[in-house]
A = this chain, B = another copy of it.
Amino acid sequence: MTVSDAEWSNTEQKVAQAAFERAYKREIDALMKQVRAQASAIAQLDDMWTLHDFLSARRHDIDGKYDYRYSVLIFVFARLVKEGWLQLDELQGLNADKLTKVAALARM
């Protein structure tokens, strides 16, 4: 069995969806906080374009990252764990094989 064609039981789908949404909310909340802070400190034109560049990059990043397709979800979770938006133990309920793969990919 490869990573991408793993089957997801109903229970696993529920665990996955909840974890996905939790990570997403965390990252978005952190980003909004950062943008509010960065914007409040705008004092000159360059600061504004720096904020714009930052938003462009983050938007692209987030649009690509939060891809809820079961064929890529192991990779998505590994990245979220690696980046700190998700803890491995929040994926409890997935089968051992998936957890091992997420953990291994997250260490790469």
Binding site for B on A (CB under 8 A): 28, 31-32, 35-36, 38-40, 42-45, 47-49, 51-52, 55-56, 59
List the B side residues contacting A32 at CB < 8 Å.
Answer: 42-45, 47-48
CB < 8 Å: which of B35, B44, B49 contacts A42? Answer: B35
Copies in the complex: 2
Give CA–CA (A49, B43) in the complex, Å: 21
Extra A-B contacts (16), CB below 8 Å, given A32-B42, A32-B43, A52-B55: A32-B44, A32-B45, A35-B39, A35-B51, A36-B39, A36-B40, A36-B42, A39-B39, A39-B40, A39-B51, A40-B40, A48-B55, A52-B52, A52-B59, A55-B55, A56-B56
